[in-house]
Every structure is written in C-alpha cells, then in structure tokens.
Amino acid sequence: MTGGWDRRRARVALAIAGVVLLPAAFAPVAASAETITVQVSKLAFVPTSVTAKIGDTIEWVNSDFVDHTATATDRGFDVKLPAGKTGSVTLTKAGTFPYFCRVHPMMKGTIAVTE
C-alpha cells in the first residue's frame, strides 16, 4: 500500500528538481570579450580591416625585423610594436578607427567597433 505513495513522492521530487534545475540549464551564456589578432608582416597590417565589439582587445603581432606602431589617426591609441613583439589595445568606444604606423605612414588599417 505504500508503493503508490512513494512513487507520487518521487514524481513530486522530480518535478521540483526540474523547476530548480531547468533555469540554470537554459541561462544564457554571458558574452565574453574576444581578442582579435592582426598580423604585422612585410610592412602591412593583415587583415587591413577588422570588426570588433566594445570590450574586445586588438592584438598586433609584429613578425617583421623592424619596429612599427599602431597609431589611431585621432590618437585615441598609440601602440608601440617593436620588432618581433606584440602590442594590444582594449576597445572602449564604438566607431570606425583608422590607424597607421608612425614609422611607415603608408601602413594603414581600420578597426570598426560596434556596441
């Protein structure tokens, strides 16, 4: 006679567990910031244009044997990139930011940042 009661209790327990656990299972994964790599090679930024979101980091990897910089045209950032080194900037505002190398002004790139 107690078998039915135990089954009902078990079902209730499962239902409660479902209510408690399901929201956790379906909770959205928090958006995480990304690092976007730009190669600096043979006197060029590759790729020339990148798109990113606020909070993302742009990392330049200078594989040349000469120093470069990644300098925003509006001077919002000015990252020194010694030969063989990397440098980075974390994006804090939306917009389109052209940049260049102070040592080689013909080296140009663009970062488009969205919210």
For residues 10 and 13, give the distance between their C-alpha atoms in angstroms, rounded to a whole number: 5
In terms of CB distance, is 55 or 88 closer to Cu ion?
A: 88
Secondary structure (3-state) at 14:
helix
Three-point CA angle 42, 37, 81, nearest 5° = 55
Q: Which stretch binds Cu ion (CB under 5 A): 10-18, 29-37, 66-74, 85-93?
A: 66-74
Q: Establish if 68 lies at the interface with Cu ion (CB under 5 A).
A: yes
Three-class DSSP category at 6: helix
How big is the site for Cu ion, counted in residues (CB under 5 A)?
Answer: 5
Q: Which of residues 72-111 bind Cu ion (CB under 5 A)?
A: 101, 103-104, 107
Q: How far apart are CB 23 and Cu ion at their closest, in Å?
A: 52
